[in-house]
Structure 1
Amino acid sequence: MIERTSAGNAHTQYRSLRTFFGWLVREDEIDINPMDKTTAPIVPEQPVPIVRDDLTGSLLGTCQGRDMISRRDAAIIRLLLDTGCRLGELAALNVDDVDFDLSVINVVGKGRRGRAIPFGAKTAQALARYMRVRAKGSTPGTQSCGCRTATGGRSSRTATRSGSCSPAAPARWGRTCTSGDTRSRTWG
């Protein structure tokens, strides 16, 4: 089986077959589990690929602008590269979860467990730049509440069920809010 597929896939199929035959034995469909005398395929460790410096530089080069979107993208890229946090953790990040004094972000990961992840000076600078631009208010292409309009832009506020945006709600990055009209608005 390993010759036709990867070792990881073969190991997954082995575990599935072992579970299935175990169920057949418990249900008295068969007398002996044929998988009892077999061993699981060995899955060799594979190193995590590292992003080359030139690719990182070109990626960060795409968000050199001074507008809110460029600053946000730079902060997100730097956070992902610097902290190694999961995409879901970053998407659920609140502005209050960034602690500049300790240079950490507080995220909720798998199993709803919270953890603090440290970040470096360049990431702190990118986050501070983004938060300054974000605090200045709406940018071209956004409504006064900051929600995305037809020409683009993002909001730092949430939409309530009545359709108005609420600045009191915790600001998040990359969430979708719906207003009273039929458009879906993204804020972040």
Structure 2
Amino acid sequence: MYKLKCCGESMLTVDEMKELVIIFLKKISDTYTDDQTKWLEQMKSSQEQQGKALEEAMNKYEKNILFHHAVKEQQILQNDKKLNEWNENVENAYEAQQEILRQFESSRKRNIDISLEKNNELIIAKDYIDKIKEAATDNKYDNSKCFIYPASSAPCGACTSAGAIIHHRRYKEPRRKKEYSLCL
């Protein structure tokens, strides 16, 4: 057995040791109970403070979220308006471009038609002149009565072909030779 000494040289008995252990355990238990109630009270107050702080933080967070959400919604609406305006401007520009393109194509086609018409008129006039010249030269050799009038003899100074204006048409007639008599 062990000899325990306490309070100087006196030896403790087993019963005293038991009592001492019981006292220590009771003191530890009381301290633990007191500490536990204090700890629970501190924990409760700490949790209440944390709960209030969390509630405030959540309210602030919710307000921030709602504010940011409202700002984002407003930005989205503004962006949608700008996008719609842009799309409308693009559509208007496209329509204007198509209209200008149609006008340009119409003008180009009209110019081509006019130039083709002028070319056709020139070709017709050239063919007409060539036919008249050809007819005049062919008929000249055939002893024909048709010929081309010069512009100076035509009304209003216009050059015409024989037969185009009936009252100016002249036929070639053989010249009558004057008979000369010789007086001797």
Return the TM-score normalized by structure 1.
0.19
More strand per residue: 1
Return the TM-score normalized by structure 2.
0.19
Tell me which of the two structures has the higher relative contact order, counting C-alpha pairs closer than 8 angstroms and 6 or more residues apart.
1
